């Protein structure tokens, strides 16, 4: 039986809905199920001149392979009609409802993976709802003790110790317990999901020049080095803490399966410079498979049809591969 992949198009005023319409133009061996308002998808399909037929989805029925131009939809109504590029706090709870229903369908095994389009975190917060990202939302919804954000291209994987935090809050968030747990999840995922028998992880320092022997910050000496030493006693191949400015050079990258960065803008700018438009955001440590795009809502492009579907396509293909891999290893 084909797998069923849950897809949330994300912010209704952003490019997510039209990118999903673009994705739906191909055939797949799996069933794609959008958790969305079908009227929104039809409207964006018309706006960008692509054919689309939305069909109701019975999540209890056997999945059927996706056919070009058709899309199964779990109907979740917008609270207010969405205009491309125009954020509206009235639709913030709609966005979260699509995520809740799609996540729950994965948790109860009606769907085998979740692929998420981009959400606008600010409009959800402006609506009075605490939300810092899918990663944190899914950690809570799936009752996972800890999850890890990793973005990956064919050439590079970058995982993060901390995610959507103000920079001023980062040092205090890098505790020995957090660093150890994040490294364990990354190590386990590289082995179990990405075929790295003996994962080689390059861990970055937090401070310039990895603290310069304590003269430019003590987090390396007080937290990172002792934690890595403990983990190395398990025989793990952990390099670092490396100065972040020179870690992303071919000689070092050739010797590692993933880079572990201490914070969002230490690791992701490099990854996105290397592969924006074809990178995939993968949440490690969840009981479900979840992938996402490498870009945001691109409000400036919404409704134009010019947004690139490359990363959404890569996120879908990664989810399909991970689903096949997990079926093989059941
Ligand atoms: N997966 C996600 O949910 C996700 C990821 C990143 C950012 N965001 C959110 O998106 C919102 C906007 O963020 P931002 O402005 O920093 O980043 P953005 O990715 O939306 O836009 C940055 C630039 O990249 C361009 N761009 C983005 N996607 C593109 C595509 N598919 N094709 C061509 N060009 C594209 C945009 O036009 C813009 O010039 C924020 O609320 C942010 O938190 C969400
Ligand atoms: N940090 C991600 C990025 O820059 O691509 C993005 O904000 C999405 O994160 P979530 O998957 O947690 O929403």
Closest ligand 2 atom to Cα of 294 = 5
290 annotated as ligand-binding: yes
The closest alpha carbon to 316, from 26, 103, 61, 60, belongs to: 26
Q: Is residue 247 within 8 Å of 210, Cβ to Cβ?
A: no
Give the ligand at the shortest distance from the Cα of 135.
Answer: 2
CA torsion through residues 208, 160, 185, 278, sign: negative
Confidence at 326, pLDDT banded by 50, 70, 90: confident
- Rounded Cα gap, residues 80 and 75, in angstroms: 15
- 4-144+286-327 and 148-272 in the same fold: yes
Using CB atoms within 10 Å of the CB of residue 238, give its burial: 0 to 12 exposed, 13 to 18 middle, 19+ buried: buried
Confidence at 328, pLDDT banded by 50, 70, 90: confident
pLDDT by residue (tens digit) across 87-98?
999 999 999 999
The superfamily (CATH) of domain 148-272 is Isopropylmalate Dehydrogenase (3.40.718.10)
pTM for the model stands at 0.98
pLDDT by residue (tens digit) across 233-252?
999 999 999 999 999 999 99
Beta bridge partners of 32: 5
> E strand or H helix at 260, and its extent?
strand 258-261
Give the ligand at the shortest distance from the Cα of 124.
Answer: 1
Q: Write down the domain spans for the chain.
A: 4-144+286-327, 148-272
Q: Give the binding-site residues of ligand 2, using a 6 Å CB cut-off.
A: 133-135, 149, 264, 268, 281, 292, 294
Q: Between helices 176-194 and 225-232, what is the axis angle to 10°?
A: 40
Instruction: Assign a CATH topology to domain 4-144+286-327.
Output: Isopropylmalate Dehydrogenase (3.40.718)
């Amino acid at each position: 039986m084909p797998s069923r992949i849950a897809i949330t198009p994300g912010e209704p005023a952003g490019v997510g809905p039209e990118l999903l319409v673009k994705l739906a133009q191909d055939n797949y061996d799996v069933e794609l199920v959008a958790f969305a308002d079908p009227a929104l998808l039809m409207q964006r399909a018309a706006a960008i001149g692509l054919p689309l037929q939305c069909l109701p989805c019975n999540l209890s029925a056997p999945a059927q392979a996706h056919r070009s131009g058709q899309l199964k939809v779990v109907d979740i109504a917008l609270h207010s009609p969405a205009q491309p590029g125009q954020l509206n706090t009235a639709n913030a709870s709609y966005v979260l409802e699509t995520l809740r229903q799609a996540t729950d369908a994965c948790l109860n095994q009606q769907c085998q993976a979740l692929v998420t389009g981009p959400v606008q975190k600010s409009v959800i917060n402006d609506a009075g709802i605490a939300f810092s990202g899918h990663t944190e939302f899914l950690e809570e919804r799936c009752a996972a003790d800890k999850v890890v954000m990793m973005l990956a291209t064919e050439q590079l994987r970058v995982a993060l110790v901390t995610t959507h935090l103000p920079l001023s809050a980062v040092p205090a968030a890098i505790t020995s317990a957090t660093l150890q747990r994040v490294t364990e999840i990354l190590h386990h995922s590289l082995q179990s999901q990405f075929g790295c028998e003996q994962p080689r992880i390059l861990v970055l320092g937090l401070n310039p020049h990895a603290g310069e022997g304590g003269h430019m910050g003590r987090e390396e000496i007080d937290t990172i080095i002792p934690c890595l030493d403990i983990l190395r006693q398990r025989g793990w191949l952990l390099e670092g803490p490396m100065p972040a400015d020179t870690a992303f050079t071919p000689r070092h990258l050739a010797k590692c399966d993933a880079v572990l960065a201490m914070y969002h803008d230490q690791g992701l700018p490099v990854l996105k410079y290397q592969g924006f438009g074809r990178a995939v955001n993968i949440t490690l440590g969840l009981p479900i498979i979840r992938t996402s795009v490498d870009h945001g809502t691109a409000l400036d492009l919404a409704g134009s049809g010019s947004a690139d579907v490359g990363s959404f396509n890569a996120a879908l293909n990664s989810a399909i591969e991970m689903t096949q891999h997990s079926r093989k290893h059941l």
